[in-house]
Structure 1
Amino acid sequence: MFLINGAWQDSLPANDRAIQFGDGCFTTARIREGRVQLLDAHLARLRLACERLFIPFDAWSTLETEMVELANRQVNGVLKVIISRGGGGRGYSPAGCLAPTRLLSISPPPAHYSAWREQGITLTLSPVRLGRNPQLAGIKHLNRLEQVLIRSHLEQSDADEALVLDSEGWVTECCAANLFWRQRNQVFTPRLDQAGVNGLMRQHILSCLQQSEWQVHEVNATAAALEEAEEVLICNALMPLVPVNALDGKRWTARELYHFLAPHCE
């Protein structure tokens, strides 16, 4: 069941634009000990996405209350929040769509993330590339077909996650995570002004690094840059931080940056 506009139900109207066009945004939050981790950041992410997509959502206080109340029902788990533009007509025009839909759900935590944190993971280079679009870059909109295709290819491999490039060949992210790599005291992460999702854990890590002795850089880099790395990490709000052991034959064993960041990413 889902909490849809304050009522528990399991369906949306067929004319909801989330179904018709993927016209909306979402965030996925970690519930820990009955509390939404990074609650303010998740709400800020949704606000930014609604502004970018011109969705006239204004029930922020109600949404926050619902997020907190649902988290209280789940000691540890996942809270997903979707905001769609709501019901509309047949065409693309959003005219007259003045009642956005809010949809919340809770689920158990991903069981494999604990093992990933302890053992590390393997990446493979995805053949699927992300389209560049500065209007949509950074936000978590509902158009996720690229990620569906990336995941489909990933499941045909033995790897745990996929390294994803954009259409120009720049390293951008993973299928469901952001990426960092280290050379000595220099830490790098892809620029996300043209493609990709600016994840909340990525933002949190950047803030931690900027207040530390590590030198951090947001860059355009090819996959070859990871060949020179001494350490590679991935992150998202649920993991929240995982070391990478290998990428298509290249291996890493260092954990210096991981051990520095892990206490800040609980």
Structure 2
Amino acid sequence: MFLINGIEQQTLAATDRATQFGDGCFTTARIIDGQIQFLAAHLQRLRQACERLFIPFADWPVLEREMSTLAKEKVDGVVKVIISRGAGGRGYSTANCITPTRILSVSAKPAHYERWRQDGVTLVLSPVRLGRNPLLAGIKHLNRLEQVLIRAHLEQTEADEALVLDSDGWLTECCAANLCWRRGRDVFTPRLDQAGVDGIMRQYCMRQLASSGFNVVEVNARQDVLQQADEVFICNALMPVVPVRQWGDLHWTARDLYHFLSPLCEQINQS
């Protein structure tokens, strides 16, 4: 099901800047028992992205109601929200873009995530690197061509997910998930101030670990740091956490962080 500006339809204006320029942002949220997990955090993510992109979206109460209404139809599923700058004239100018477009959809949760949680995943190093751009780093804007290319390469391999570097060779994320690793009581995750997406589940996991006695550090690191890792996991709002069992010749069997975080990530009301 799709809602575009509150109307059930699948037709978008050809002049909408989402299609013309990828001019917008999005978030993808998990539905549990008819409720949206991290609803406030997803709305805040969209607000921050709109502010960063100078999109004058103001219908936040309407959007929240629409998200909650769609979620009631699913016991377990996914709601995706896209906000574009709306329809406008020819060229890059935003002068004639007055009314942003909101697009909502609901779908089933990816079935393979349950298998991934049980078995763990394998990674492959992607040859596609993310461009460094501090203006857009961290937010989920609609320009996803890098991820499309990463996914295209991944599907030519037997791996489950891709290990992604930025254009300077720093560990950044996976194709559709954030990356974390543990060495002793120290938990590391890549800095995302130059590239990548600062995921809501990443933020939540970092808070939970920090308050539980782990030393959580955001770092610039090369891929070889994983050779010293005791445990590696990936996360996003839908997985929500998945252990990594293998990357090339490296194997991990420890699941301390996974077993700690997994039950916490199944709750509706989070902090």
**Same fold (TM > 0.5):** yes
Aligned-pair CA distance for 1:42: 0.2
Once the two structures are superposed, the pairs formed by residues 127-138 of structure 1 within 5 Å of their partners are 127-138=127-138
Helix, strand or coil at the partner of 1:69 = helix
1-side partners of 2:211 and 2:230: how far apart? 22
Aligned-pair CA distance for 1:110: 0.4
Aligned-pair CA distance for 1:75: 1.1
1-side partners of 2:23 and 2:249: how far apart? 40
Q: Which residue pairs with 2:239 in the alignment?
A: 239
Give the RMSD, CA atoms, in angstroms: 0.6
Q: Which residue pairs with 2:125 in the alignment?
A: 125
2-side partners of 1:117 and 1:141: how far apart? 28
Q: Which residue pairs with 2:79 in the alignment?
A: 79
Q: Which residue pairs with 1:249 in the alignment?
A: 249
2-side partners of 1:10 and 1:213: how far apart? 48
Aligned-pair CA distance for 1:249: 1.8
2-side partners of 1:75 and 1:219: how far apart? 38
Once the two structures are superposed, the pairs formed by residues 218-229 of structure 1 within 5 Å of their partners are 218-229=218-229
Helix, strand or coil at the partner of 1:50 = helix
1-side partners of 2:192 and 2:260: how far apart? 24
Q: How high is the TM-score relative to the length of structure 2?
A: 0.97
Asked if 1:29 corresponds to 2:29, the answer is yes
Q: Which residue pairs with 2:10 in the alignment?
A: 10
Q: Which residue pairs with 2:88 in the alignment?
A: 88
Q: Which residue pairs with 1:105 in the alignment?
A: 105
1:194-219 per-residue CA deviation (whole Å, 9 max, x = no partner) reads: 00000000000111112111111000
1:11-70 per-residue CA deviation (whole Å, 9 max, x = no partner) reads: 100000000000000000000100000000000000000000000000000000000000
Q: Which residue pairs with 1:142 in the alignment?
A: 142
Number of aligned positions between the proteins: 266
Q: Which residue pairs with 1:63 in the alignment?
A: 63
- The letter for the 1-side match of 2:213 is E
Q: Which residue pairs with 2:269 in the alignment?
A: none
2-side partners of 1:96 and 1:11: how far apart? 21
Q: Which residue pairs with 1:185 in the alignment?
A: 185
Helix, strand or coil at the partner of 1:102 = strand
2-side partners of 1:249 and 1:89: how far apart? 53
Q: Which residue pairs with 1:173 in the alignment?
A: 173
Identical pairs, percent? 68
Unaligned runs of 5+ in 1: none
1-side partners of 2:124 and 2:168: how far apart? 18
2-side partners of 1:108 and 1:262: how far apart? 20
Tell me which stretches of 4 or more aligned residues in structure 1 moved more than 4 Å. Answer: none
Aligned-pair CA distance for 1:258: 1.2
1-side partners of 2:258 and 2:13: how far apart? 45
1:130-152 per-residue CA deviation (whole Å, 9 max, x = no partner) reads: 00000100000000000000000
2-side partners of 1:201 and 1:40: how far apart? 13
Q: Which residue pairs with 1:258 in the alignment?
A: 258
Helix, strand or coil at the partner of 2:262 = helix
Q: How high is the TM-score relative to the length of structure 1?
A: 0.99
Q: Which residue pairs with 2:201 in the alignment?
A: 201
- The letter for the 2-side match of 1:102 is R
Helix, strand or coil at the partner of 1:205 = helix
- The letter for the 2-side match of 1:54 is F
Unaligned runs of 5+ in 2: 267-271
Q: Which residue pairs with 1:154 in the alignment?
A: 154
Asked if 1:212 corresponds to 2:222, the answer is no
2-side partners of 1:249 and 1:151: how far apart? 22
Aligned-pair CA distance for 1:259: 1.2
2-side partners of 1:118 and 1:258: how far apart? 11
